[in-house]
Structure 1
Amino acid sequence: MMNSSKLAAMLLAGVATLAVTPVAARAQSAGTTLAADPVDDGNTIVVTAQRRSEDNLTVPVAVSVIRSETLHDYDAAGGDTLLSLSGKVPSLYVETSTGRIFPRFYIRGLGNIDFYLGASQPVEIIQDDVVEENVVLKSNPVFDVADVEVLKGPQGSLFGRNTTAGIVKFDSAQPSETWAGQGSVSYGRFNSVNADVGIGGPLTRDGTISFRLSGLYQHRDNWISNTYMGPSDDGTVGGHNKLDGFDERDVRLQVLVKPSDAFSLRVAGHYRDYAGFASIFYRGSIIPGTNAVPASFDRSVVAYDEAQNNPQAYKTHGVSVKAAYDFGGVTLTSITAWEHASGYSRGDTDGGAAANFGGTAANYCAVGCGESQGQLRYLDQWTQEVRLASPDTGPFKWQLGGIYFDQRDNTEFDQRSFFLTNNILGTAPNPNNFVLLHDVNTSYAGFAQASYDLTSALTLTGGVRVTNDTKRTSLLLHPNFVNLAVPVTAPASSYACGTATYCRLSDTKPSFDASLLYKLSPEASVYARVARGFRGPTIQGRSAVFATAYTTANSETNTSYEAGVKTAFWDGRIHFNAAGFYYVVDNIQLNGNDANGNGVLFNASKGKGYGAEAELDARPIPNFHIGVGLSLLHTEIDDKGVYAQVGAAGGVPSETVLDPTVRIGNNYFAQINGNPFPNAPDYNVNVNARYDIPLGDGKSRVFVSTDFNLQGKTDFVLYRAVEYSADGNYELGAKVGYAFGRYEIAAFARNLTNTKNLVDVIDTSNYRAGIYNDPRVFGVMLSGSFK
C-alpha cells in the first residue's frame, strides 16, 4: 500500500503539472498571453507596511521586500521556508536550537534566545493578516507566497502585538477572477524534494466566487548516522542514516466571495503535518580557545546514547475569515482567526554519548547525560480584529480599530529521568522529572493612525496604540510539588507571582509612531520617524521541571529614532534605499541559563543599538537584475549590575570567558554590561543576481543566477566567550538553466562551497556542543506560472 508521504508527493506533483501545462493551455485558448517574464515585471515596489497598498517611496518606514520567485531558490533543497530568510535582507536574522518548529527572529539585533515553548519574541510574525504569537505557530511554513515584507523597528500603532523589534509579514497569493497558478518542484541530494504549488480561479461564471488551493511538500532522507552502540538507559539504538530527515506536508484553501465592488468575504483554512528531528547538537565540536570549525569536523556523524535519535513532530491547523465592506467614505474590515497546534520535540541535549567523554562502564554518565522533551499537548489561539479606514486617496487618510487576542495551552516538559526504562547500568527507572503547565495569554488593544499631506511634497503621519497584556501560568502536575518555593528575586508589587504554582503578570502601556516624509522629486523622498513599541511581561514556567519556581521578566519598551532616503530613478530600473537608526530598550528582557541548563528570565536596565542599512535593486542593462543589501549594527547591554551564568562543570568554566566573572559555589557568573546582544551580527551583506541570455527564437533564454550572504561577528550567548561566537559565516547558492516564457528547468546548488558554519551553541556544562548549517545540496528544479 502506498504510504502517505509518497501519496502527498504525487498529488502535489500532479497539481504542479496541472499548473504548468493543461490549465495554462486553457488560459492561452481564452486569450491570455504568456509573455516572457525575466525576473520582474514592474518598476514600482508596492508595500503594505501601513495596511494600504502604496509605493514604497511614499512610506515612512524602513521596509525590505523579498520577491516570491527568489524564495523558490532559497528552499530548493527542502530548506526551512522561514530559516532560509536569515540574512537575505539587511538586519533580519533567523535561527533555531530546537529544530524547524521553533524559529527565532531578530531585527536590528532585537530577539530572544529563549528555547521555552511559551517564550515571548519581540519580532512579530503575521501571515495573511493573522498574528502568529506562539513559537510553534510562528514556524508554520510559507508557500505560494505573493509578498514578503520585513518592517524594521517598533510598529507602534497598526500591527499585532509584541512589536518592539519589527514585523515579518507574509501574504499568500489570493483567489482571482481569472485562472492563475504557479508551481516549483525540485529534487536533490539526500533524496531532497521541494514542491511549492498554487492554483486558483473562478468557481462561478461571473467570478463572484473564486478560490486558491496551495500546497507544500518537502522531504529529505535521514543522512546523519548515530555511531553509538553502547548501553543506553532509555533504549536508544544507533545506526546508519538515523537522523535529520523530514517530511513537511502543508495545504491551504482560500475561497473569496465578492458579490459587489463594495463587499468581499475571504474564508481560508490551512493544515500542517510535520515530522522530522530536533536540532542536531555535536558534542565536543567546539575546541577550547577558538571559534574556528575544525577541518576534520563531520556533520554526518553523531554518537547519541539517549533521546531515541531526536524525533520531532507537530501538527497545526487554523481557519480565518476576513470580511470588508466599503460604505463609500469608510471601509469596515473584520478579521477573525483560530489557530491550533500540538506536538513534541525530544533531543539529546548534551550532544553526544557521555561514555566518549570520560565516563566508565560502571558509571557512563559521570560526566553528564542529558535529554529533554517539550510537548505541546494543545494550543488554541483566537484573534479578532476590527478596523475602520478611509479611502486610500486624498490628502487626509486615517484608520482606527481594535484587536483582541486569547491563547491557551497545556505544555509538558520532560527531563532525562522521565524516559528511563531499564536498569542496564544500575540506574533505577525514575520517571518523575516532568511538569505540566497551563498557560493563558490575553491581550486587547485599541489603535488609530492618520496621515495628512501638509503640502504636495510633505506628509505627516502619526499613530497610537494602547495595549493590555496579561499572562497566567498554572502548575497542573509535578511530582515535586511541595518543593517549589517563590524565589527571593520574584518581581515586586503588581508583577508578583501569586504562589509557587500560579503566576499572573499584567501591564498596560501605550505605543506610538510619528513621521515626516518629504518628496524631493517624483524619484526620491526622505523621511524621519520616531516610534515606541511595548512587549508585555513574561513568565518562564519551564523552571518548575527542576523543582524551581518560575522566573519572570517585567515589561520592556523600545523607543526608536530613524531617518532614511528612498529613491527610484532611471525609469524605475534602479531602486536605492538607505536608513540610519538608534534605539533604546528600557527594562530589556534577557534570557540566560542556570546550573541545570534551564532558561532564566531577567531584566537589564537598558539595551541600546544603532546602525545603518542600505539596499540596491537594479536592472542596469537588459536581462540583468541584481540586488545588494548591507547592514551595520552595534548593540550593547547597559546595566553594570546584571550578570549571566557561564557554562561550567565541576567548578571549571567550559569556555574562555572574556568578561569579569564571580564564582558562587561551582557556578560562575559573568558581568555582561557593555556586551552585544546575542545573535546580532555586527554586519551582514546579501547579494542576489540573475542574467538571462535570449536565444535566437525570441521566446527562450538561458540564465544563470546566484545568491550570497556574508555575516559578521556574532555572539551566541549573553557573555563574551572566544568559543561561543562566529565571524565571517557565509553561504553561496547558484542556479543555471533554460527558460521558455514563464517556465524554467534548471540545475541548482545550495551551500555551493560546502562551508561549515557554527550557527548556535549549547551553553551548558562541559559539552561544548555546536549546531551547524546544512551541507551542500545540489539538484534539478522545474518551475512555472501562468495568469
Structure 2
Amino acid sequence: MKKLHTARFNRAGLLVSVPAVLLASAIGNNAMAQDATDEANEGALEEVIVTATKRVENIQDIPISITALNQSQIEQMSAGVPDIRFMNARVGNLTIESSFGRVFPRFYIRGYGNTDFDLNASQPVSYVVDEVVQENPILKGFPVFDVERIEVLRGPQGSLFGRNTPAGIVKLDSVKPVDVPDGYFRASYGTYNAARMEGAFGTGFGNGWSTRFSLLYMHQDDWVDNGYTGEKDAYSGFDEWAARLQLAYDNGGDFRALFNVHYRDLDGSAILFRANIIEPGSNGLNEEYYDRDTVYFDGQNTQELTQWGGFAKLEWDIAGLTLTSITGYENVELFSRGDIDGGFGGCFVVDECGPGFIPFDAETADGMPDHRQWTQEFRLTSHNDGGFNWIAGFFYFNEKFTIDTINYSTLFGGDVNGLVEQQQKTKAYAFFGSGTYDINEQWRLGAGIRYSHDEKDYWAERYLSPLSFLDVPPLGPIYADPDDDKVTWDVTANYFQNDDINWYARIATGFRAPSIQGRLLFGDTVSVAESETSTSYEGGVKMLMAGGKVRVNFNLFTYKVDDAQLTAVGGEANFNQVINADKVKGKGFELDLQAQLTPNLLISYSMGYTDTEIRDDNLAVAGCGAPCTVTDPPGDVAGSYLINGNPLPQAPKITSNLIVDWSKQLASGAIYFQGDWVYRSKINFVLYEAKEYRGKSLSEIGLRVGYRFGEGNHDLSVFGRNISDRERNIYTIDFNNLTGIINEPRTWGVEYAWRY
C-alpha cells in the first residue's frame, strides 16, 4: 500500500514540477538579470481584482484560496458551443458534470459535491451570478457570455454567503454598462454545423445613465444516429438563445443603481445514455456495443427549458458607509425526457433487445412546470483607510417549485405508466457580519459570523406506479417539514512579509440545510437528510516575483464534514435516497501560477490535489443491479455494501490545467497562439467501489491560432477542442446494465470577432 500511495504522490509531484521548472526559469532568466527597482513594472502581470469578500480587492490580499479567470481565458476555454461544463478541471480542485447535459450542472470543489440528479437536489457548492445566488441546479446552467470574470472560492464561505456553501462558491460577474460606446461581436462555425453568434452593445445616454444589451445564439446539428430505427443524425443537436439587458445609474453622487433582466431558451436533445458500453470486469469501453456516432433507442430523447429573471442593486453612500440592497428574482421551466436504459426492448418482456442485455425498458422524464425564487440582501459596508473595516447585513431567500416525474411504457406505445408529483417551499433568512483589523502594516486579522435559519415544506404523491401491473398502488401524499438553525464563522490572519508576499491562515465553517429526496416512482419512502456541517483549515502564501512578472499562490488544506449528506442512487431497485454519513474528510493543496516569460509569452497553470475519505463503519448502500464487480465488503442486508474508507464520488485526486498564450507582431497586426491542456485523474462514479464504475483519467487539449488586426479590434482565428479525440466514459448509471455517458468528441471551428 505504501508503494501505491508513493506512486500517486509522485504523479502529483510531477504535475507540480512542470510549472515549477517554468517558474524557476522565469525567476532565473528575468529576475536575477535585472534591477528589480528600475524595471519592476515593465511587462508585469495585471492585477487580478475580485469581489470574493463583497468588496473590490486584489486577489493577492485575500486570505482565501481563489482562482479567477478573465475574459480572454474564458473565451479560449469556451470556444465553440459548450455549456458551463467547459470549466470542468480548468481550475484546480474544481470539477463539473451532468447527467442532464446542458442543464443541471453539478459542481464539486475539493472533491465535495452532490451526485443527486433529482430537481430539488441541494449542492454544497453555491453558484452566484452578479451577486444573486442561483439555488436550484437548473438555474446554474445559464450560458456563459459577456462575462468579465469567474471566481472560484474554495472552502466554506458560510459567513458572507451563508447556507449551502460548505464546499465553496463559483461566482460570475457579467460585463457592466459604462458611459461610453463599448461592445463586441463574435461569430463562429464548426463541426456538426455548430454555429455561435454573440454580441453586446453598451453606451451612456447622459445624466449618469448607461445601458448594455448582450445576446447569444448557439446551434448544433444532430449528429448521432439511431441504429435501432435507422434514423441518421437523430440526436445531440440543439438551439439555444440567451439575452441580458442592464441599466445603470451613477452620476458621481451618493446613489448608484444597476438593473438587470435576463432570459434563456433551450430546445434540443437530452444527454445520451449508452447501454452496456462498459467492458465487464474493467472500466474500459466495450467495443462490441460502443460506437460514438450511434445509439440504439426505442424511446424519445428531448429537452426544453425556458428561464428568466432579474435583479435590482441599489447603493447609497451614507456618512462614510455604503448601504447596499440587492433584490433578485428567478424563474425556470424544464421538461427533459430520455431513454434511460440506453437501448431498445426489454429482455424480460420481449425477445428483441439490445445492445447487449436490457432487462426491461426505462424511459423517464423530469419536469419543472412551476418554479420561482426571490432573494433580498441588505448590507452595510465601511470604508476606513486601514484600522478596522466591516460588513454587516441581512439575507432572505424564498423558493417554491413543482416537480413532475414521469415514466413511459416504451414497449407498449409510449403511454404514461408512472407519475409522481413533488412540491417544495423553502424559506431561509440570515444575519451576518465580517470584519478585518490591521494591527500594523504587516499583520491583519479577520473574523466573520452568520446566523442562518432554513425551513422547508414538502409533499410528494404517486398518482400512478410503473409497477401497477404488480398491484403496486398509488401513494401519498407524504409530507416532510425539516428546519434548522446554524451559526457559521471564520477566522483569518494575514502576514504581509512585504509588498509582494502574503502569508495567510484561515479556519472556516459552513453548513448545508436539510435535504429531501422523494423520487417515488420505484420506492415508497421519502428520505430526509439532516443538516451537514463542515470545518476547514487552510494555510498558504501568495507571491509576486520577478518584478511582478510571476504570480504564485499556493495553499494546503484539510477539512471535515460531520453528518455528510450523500446520495445513494441506482441499485437493482433503481431507487434514489439521501443519507447521512458520520464523517467525510479531505486534505490536499492548490497551486496557481502565472508567468510572463517573455513580452510575447504568458503561461498560466492551475493544479489541485485532493484526497477524500468517507468515515462511517456501519454505512452500507445498495450495489449495482448489473453484473458488476464490487470490491467493497458486503453489508448486513443482501445486495448492500459497506462504503467506509471509500473516496467521495466524482472526486479526482488531481486536477490540472495549463494555458499557453503567445503572440508576435506581423505586418500591421499580430499573429497569436493559445493552447490549453486539462487533466483530471481517475474518479469513482458512485459511493461503493466497483471495477466497472471507476472512471479512467481524462486529458484534453484545446488550441486557437489567429490573427488580430485593425489596431487589435478585429480577430480571425481557427480553434479546436479535444483535438486528440480522447474518448472516455464520464458518467455511469449503476442500474441493471452497464450504461454510461461519453465525453464530447473532437471539434474544429473558425471564428471572427470585432470589438469596439
Contact (CA 8 Å) 1:75, 1:194: kept in 2 or not? no
Q: Matches of 2:141 and 2:107 in 1, distance apart?
A: 10
| Selected match of 2:546 from 564, 570, 579 | 570
What SS does the corresponding residue of 1:589 show, helix, strand or coil? strand
2:566 to 585, 590, 603: 590
The equivalent of 2:527 in structure 1 is 551
Q: Secondary structure at the match of 1:661?
A: coil
Hey, what does 2:727 align to over in structure 1? Answer: 756
Contact map agreement 2:242 2:265 (CA 8 A) in 1: yes
Instruction: Note the C-alpha offset of 1:298.
Output: 2.0
The residue identity in structure 2 corresponding to 1:304 is: F
Does the 8 Å contact 1:43/1:571 carry over to 2? no
Equivalent residue number for residue 125 of structure 1: 127
Shift of 1:52: 0.8
Structure 2 residue identity aligned to 1:568: L
Matches within 5 A, 1:62-77: 62-77=65-80
1:561-600 CA-partner distances (Å, limit 9, x unpaired): 0001101122322111001000000000000125332321
Does 1:318 find its partner at 2:309?
Answer: yes
Match of residue 784 from structure 1 = 754
Alpha-carbon separation, structure 2, partners of 1:571 and 1:412:
59
| Cα-to-partner distance string for 1:78-114 (whole Å, 9 max, x where unaligned) | 011x100011010100000111111000000000000
Q: Deviations along 1:101-136, whole A, 9 cap, x unmatched?
A: 110000000000000000000000000110000011
Q: 1:600 is matched by which residue type in structure 2?
A: Q
Q: CA deviation at 1:383?
A: 0.3
| 2:260 paired residue among 268, 287, 307 | 268
**Match among 363, 373, 376 for residue 384 of structure 1:** 376
Determine which of 516, 530, 539 is the counterpart of 2:516.
539
CA RMSD of aligned residues (A): 2.2
User: What CA deviation, in whole Å up to 9, does each residue of 1:13-40 have, x standing for no partner?
Assistant: xxxxxxxxxxxxxxxxxxxxxxxxxxx9
Q: Tell me if structure 2 keeps the 8 A contact 1:758–1:771.
A: yes
In structure 1, C-alpha distance between the alignment counterparts of 2:589 and 2:487, rounded to whole Å: 27
CA contact (8 A) 1:500 1:549 kept: no
Does the Cα contact within 8 Å between 1:411 and 1:437 map onto a contact in 2? yes
Secondary structure, counterpart of 1:72 in structure 2: helix
Residue number among 467, 475, 481 corresponding to 2:460 in the alignment: 475
How far did residue 476 of structure 1 move? 5.4
Trace 1:53-132 onto structure 2 (pairs within 5 A).
53-80=56-83, 82-132=84-134
Using structure 1 for the length normalisation, give the TM-score. Answer: 0.86
Does 2:581 correspond to 1:581?
A: no
Are the structure 2 counterparts of residues 354 and 407 from structure 1 closer, same or farther at C-alpha, using a change threshold of 3 Å? same
Q: Which letter does structure 1 place at the counterpart of 2:391?
A: Q
Aligned to 1:465: 450
Q: Which amino acid aligns with 2:456?
A: K
Task: Say which SS state the counterpart of residue 530 (structure 1) adopts.
Answer: strand
Write out aligned runs for 1:141-156 (5 A): 141-156=143-158
Which residue of structure 1 lines up, in the alignment, with residue 362 of structure 2? 370
For 1:168, the equivalent position in structure 2 comes to 170
The residue that corresponds to 1:30 in the other structure is: none
Offset of residue 160 of structure 1? 4.6
Aligned-partner residue type, residue 339 of structure 1: E
Which aligned pairs between 1:145-294 and structure 2 lie closer than 5 A? 145-204=147-206, 206=207, 208-229=208-229, 239-294=231-286
Instruction: Tell me which residue corresponds to 1:304.
Output: 297
* Range with bigger deviation, 518-527 or 360-369: 360-369
Distance 1:483 1:447, change over 3 A: farther
Whole-angstrom CA distance in 1 between matches of 2:159 and 2:148 = 24
Change (3 A) 1:393 1:477: farther
Map Cα deviations across residues 641-663 of structure 1 (whole Å, 9 max, x no partner). Answer: 101211125xxxx2111111247
The question of 1:454 aligning with 2:439 is answered yes
Counterpart check, 1:629 vs 2:606: yes
In the alignment, the residues of structure 2 paired with residue 528 and residue 631 of structure 1 have an alpha-carbon distance, to the nearest angstrom, of 18
Following superposition, the deviation at residue 359 of structure 1 comes to 5.1
1:645 pairs with 2:645: no
Question: What residue number does 1:354 align with?
Answer: 345
Structure 1 residue runs without a partner (length 5+): 1-39, 230-237, 423-428, 487-498
Give the SS at the match of 2:612. strand
Residue 590 of structure 2, aligned match among 613, 618, 635: 613
Instruction: Give the structure-2-normalised TM-score.
Output: 0.90
After superposition, the C-alpha distances for 1:162-221 in whole angstroms (9 at most, x for unaligned) are 1010000000000101111133221101000122322211022x4x11001011111100
The verdict on how the C-alpha distance between 1:410 and 1:524 changes in structure 2, with shifts beyond 3 A counting, is same
* Residue 402 (structure 2) pairs with residue 410 (structure 1): yes
How many angstroms does 1:249 deviate by?
0.2
- 8 Å Cα contact 1:711/1:727 also seen in 2: no
Task: Give 2:210's aligned amino acid.
Answer: S
Task: Describe the shift of the 1:502–1:433 C-alpha distance in structure 2 as closer, same or farther (beyond 3 A).
Answer: same
Residue 261 of structure 1 deviates from its aligned partner by: 2.5
Is 1:560 matched up with 2:530?
Answer: no
1:709-750 deviation digits (Å, cap 9, x = unpaired): 111121111111111112321100011111121431111111
Task: Work out which of the residue numbers 488, 496, 520 in structure 2 matches 1:519.
Answer: 496
Tell me how far apart the structure 2 counterparts of residues 558 and 160 of structure 1 sit (CA, whole Å). 12
Alignment partner of 2:274: what SS? coil
| Partners of 1:615 and 1:330 in 2: CA distance | 34
